[in-house]
Amino acid sequence: MIPAPFIDKLTAILAWLAERLAEIRERNALRAQAELEQAELEQAELEQAALEQAERE
């Protein structure tokens, strides 16, 4: 039989790990969203520059 204090401690560790994983996933999602927004902004700037260049020619 596994002692109850060991099971309690293991359960607490697993709960803590689950919380940490959730935090990491959230941080990664926010980072990915920021990278996507930055890429969209850069793409829009490139398209605008191309349009301005085409108008000059």
Query: Which residues form the domain of 55?
Result: 29-57
- Distance (Å, rounded) from C-alpha 20 to C-alpha 52? 48
For residue 56, the model assigns a pLDDT of 85
Q: Does 38 map to a domain?
A: yes
- Distance (Å, rounded) from C-alpha 9 to C-alpha 29? 30
Q: Does 17 map to a domain?
A: no
For residue 18, the model assigns a pLDDT of 99
Q: Does 55 map to a domain?
A: yes
Q: Does 44 map to a domain?
A: yes
Q: Does 19 map to a domain?
A: no
Q: Does 15 map to a domain?
A: no
Q: Does 7 map to a domain?
A: no
Taking the CA atoms of 44, 45, 51 and 54 in sequence, report the sign of the dihedral they define.
Answer: negative
Query: How many independent structural domains does the chain possess?
Result: 1
Tens place of pLDDT for every residue, the chain, 57 residues?
889 999 999 999 999 999 999 999 999 999 999 999 999 999 999 999 999 998 888
For residue 34, the model assigns a pLDDT of 99
For residue 15, the model assigns a pLDDT of 99
Q: What is the CA radius of gyration of the chain?
A: 25
